[in-house]
Amino acid sequence: MARYIEDLSSGDKVEGVFIINKMRITPKRSGENYIFIELRDRTGTIPAFVWDDVEENAEILKDEFYIRVIGEAETYNGRLQVRVHALSRADVGAIKMEDLFQSSPRDQRLLEERLQAHIKSITNPWFKKLVEQVFGNNDFYNQFITSPAAIKKHHNYLNGLLDHTVEVCDLAVAVSGILPDLDHDLILAGALIHDIGKIAEYKIGRGIEFTEKGNLIGHIILGYEMVVKEIESIDGFPEEIRMKILHMILSHHGKEEWGSPKKPAIPEAYLLHTLDNLSSKIHREKGDFFDEN
């Protein structure tokens, strides 16, 4: 049995969970109705048709993002499609999202190892304490390593936030020898946490979507609030360091018209903005992102 849509051939049995990309009820020439569904997984889309028990199956499909399908692949007019034999609601908690959505082309385990290496390399005790506390929260960490970094244009896939963050950290390390007078612990700490608000900005539905908080507040302020909360829990955290690390978050988009509450006011913040922008722009130019369906 083929695992993904791209592997299907005519005559293959189909059994699995798919994203409902589109759905409509359409009348046949006889006057009876049938259901058209466009199914999607990480490899592509395929049309599917429900010919029997239309009302019952339409009720099953109602308000669902994901659906379990049993059927058979067939060719009609030269195009592969699925004849659906049965539908049932999917157990969302049991879905392997990596089967339905694109994920980073880079190995997640290696990305996590690089992330941890960057955290360990920080020498300033206050930055180190803050970053270790942020990434030491298991609930946060599990969201962080699976979250996308955008809806479109760059790193818009599962693990995209991890991928982008590690890349910005790698770039920061690469320039550290060229600009030795800068505070590289501040730059690296900023690189690690600059986008953490994105775990609350995006959600996975039929695709990558904004949460209500993402629409109304945005990841910069969400991340700022998260870091303020962590700093307040660390006794004696120096005010100067507090202001600088929060400025790194608030200014990393660089310009007000790009959504930045503050423009970079210190060299480290300007460098972080530049590296963040470089990472996103390079992936746009490479086409290393996935078009929205």
pLDDT band per the 50, 70, 90 thresholds, residue 281: confident
- Give the 3-state secondary structure of residue 43: coil
State whether 125 and 10 are in the same domain: no
185, 123 Cβ separation under 8 angstroms: yes
State whether 156 and 235 are in the same domain: yes
Asked whether the predicted pLDDT for residue 218 surpasses 90, the reply is: yes
State whether 42 and 109 are in the same domain: no
State whether 260 and 130 are in the same domain: yes
Q: Write the CA distances from 147 to 13, 32, 49, integer angstroms.
A: 32, 43, 33
Check which CATH number belongs to the domain holding 168 and give it: 1.10.3210
State whether 72 and 153 are in the same domain: no
Please indicate whether residue 24 or residue 255 has the higher confidence score (pLDDT).
Answer: 24
Tokens of 70: 């049993």
Alpha carbons within 13 A on the beta-carbon side of 237: 21
- How many domains in the chain? 2
Which pLDDT does position 28 carry in this prediction? 84
289, 154 Cβ separation under 8 angstroms: yes
Residue 124 sits in which domain range?
A: 101-286
Task: List 38's β-bridge partners, or say none.
Answer: 22, 47
State the Cα–Cα distance between residues 101 and 97, nearest whole angstrom.
6
State whether 118 and 209 are in the same domain: yes
Which pLDDT does position 293 carry in this prediction? 31
pLDDT band per the 50, 70, 90 thresholds, residue 205: confident
Would you give the end-to-end CA distance of the chain in angstroms?
25
State whether 121 and 15 are in the same domain: no
Average pLDDT over residues 99-124: 95
